[in-house]
A and B are shown apart, each in its own frame.
Chain A
Amino acid sequence: MGFLFEQDNFALFRDGFLQTIELSALSALLALLLGTLLAAFRVSPVPVLRAFGTTWVTLFRNTPLTLLFFAVTFGLPPLGVHFSHLTFAVLALGGYTASFVCEVIRSGINTVPLGQAEAARSLGMNFFQTLSLVILPQATRTVLGPMSSVFIALPRNSAIAGAFSVGELYSAQQTFSERGYSIFSIFFWVACAYLLISATVASLFRFLESRLAVAR
């Protein structure tokens, strides 16, 4: 276990840890914004937008994440899109997670009685006002549970980025393995780090749930 504190190992581990957090946080932000937008598309009265949302979800939810990373990292540069490895990873992971966020929000929207939207529309609210002022705030509470599962899975999914030149936690593990440290102790520390992140995300959601529980 002590290898972590030898040579520059700790710096490597710490950088990987921070990179995982950065990657996860950026992807989570992208997933939340894009996922909400996609959910709005999927319930919108405009057929083209609905089709776009459905296609996105079908495509991204059913493609293995590794394949998405491949597609983004090797597919975009020939099209003239050049970003850092981290940005590509955020796009792949964020786009993938967005499809799950979209479905969670959409099912949340479906739990809000139809009469709420009718009342909003009858008062002259447009589609976005109806959604943002009336429907989504009421969907939030039912959405939090399933949403926390999505965001707890995200940091773990981010490990795939290690295979695509992002110096995150999982790639730090590979470096340690190459340096010949015992697999068991490497995995012990890496697992601890992921556990810490997941636990933080989980408690954040528990906090939100308790906050919203009193608000009514």
Chain B
Amino acid sequence: MTESPVEDSTPAAAPLVVLSNVNKHYGALHVLQDIDLEIRQGEVVVLIGPSGSGKSTLCRTINRLETIDSGTITLSGRPLPAEGRELAKLRAEVGMVFQSFNLFAHKTVLENVVLAQVKVRKVLRSHAEKTARELLDRVGVGAQADKYPAQLSGGQQQRVAIARALAMKPKVMLFDEPTSALDPEMVNEVLEVMRQLAADGMTMVVVTHEMGFARSAANRVLFMADGKIVEQDTPDAFFTAPRSDRAKDFLSKILHH
């Protein structure tokens, strides 16, 4: 990413993603309750909170993998389209990285990164391959380009998944627990790629329990519980002096084991 240099990480005012008064239910369960959230260009937001608090759901509403019941979500000032071609176009602008990688199992690593460029962005194949190789090199898996996902380690697969999302030149990247499915020794190689991405100015929403990453890369930490954003602050302030009891309780649990 060459768009904005590291110095810009205290980002400009323009909010890129805005959620206002967002509500969502799963039957009787009120998973997202009056969520208001503004994410500025170049900002790195880390979402933490207990299991079932709605972090994944919130993350997935931003590219409309989950629909919402009420409220509005805008990207670059435009409301998310409900469906069809417009929605597909929006999704291409919002990169998503999943806990379970979800690489296309029947395609080689290179093809995984090429496919949507050609089919969605209508990029020339030769050009798409060039982009794919550059991105694969950048995340450190260039040598694996011709292998199938199943032949790679989890850490390698997740880095390919990041490259695949980046190939669409997204405005914002969503990460839903990108390192939770990894063996401990592979966590860092993925976090390192993400740190680099953050330093390069990518706007990121990251659901993670990696406090080291949150401290070193995030501009803001959001603490969610029971479908609400209970507390938000800079990582330093949040981790050293959480204000709410829920956050204190949660931090004491994850920091002491």
| Chain A interfacial positions (CB closer than 8 Å to B) | 45, 113, 115-116, 118-126, 129, 133-134, 137-138, 215-216
Contacts and interface: CB of A to CB of B under 8 A. Distances in A.
Nearest to B118: A133
A134 B104 contact: yes
B168 A123 contact: yes
Contact of A125 (B88, B94, B102): B88
Interface of B: 63, 65, 83-85, 88-96, 98, 100, 102-106, 115-116, 119-121, 148, 150, 161, 164-165, 168
A122 B90 CA distance: 9
B91 A119 contact: no
Contacts of A216: 105-106, 148, 150
A176 B118 CA distance: 60
B105 A122 contact: no
B163 to A, nearest CB: 12
Given A123-B116, A124-B91, 16 more contacts: A45-B83, A115-B100, A116-B102, A118-B65, A119-B102, A119-B104, A119-B161, A122-B65, A122-B96, A124-B90, A124-B93, A129-B120, A134-B104, A138-B104, A215-B106, A216-B150
Contacts of A120: 104, 116
Contacts of A122: 63, 65, 91, 94-96, 165
A211 B164 CA distance: 28
Contacts of B90: 124
Contacts of A133: 115, 119
B85 A126 contact: yes
A115 B102 CA distance: 5
A132 to B, nearest CB: 10
15 contacts: A119-B98, A119-B103, A119-B161, A119-B164, A120-B116, A121-B65, A121-B88, A122-B63, A122-B65, A123-B92, A124-B90, A125-B119, A125-B120, A138-B106, A216-B148
Nearest to A126: B88
- Of B85, B90, B102, B121, most A-chain CB atoms within 10 Å: B102
B204 to A, nearest CB: 15
B152 to A, nearest CB: 13
Nearest to A122: B96
B98 A124 contact: no
A196 to B, nearest CB: 34
Nearest to B164: A123
Nearest to A112: B105
A81 to B, nearest CB: 35
A120 B119 CA distance: 11
The 4 closest A-B pairs by CB, nearest first: A124-B92, A119-B102, A123-B116, A115-B102
A187 B25 CA distance: 65
Contacts of A137: 106
Contacts of A126: 84-85, 88
A123 B120 CA distance: 8
A172 B121 CA distance: 57
Contacts of A45: 83
Nearest to A117: B102
Contacts of A125: 88, 116, 119-120
Given A129-B119, A129-B120, A123 B106 contact: no
B116 A124 contact: yes
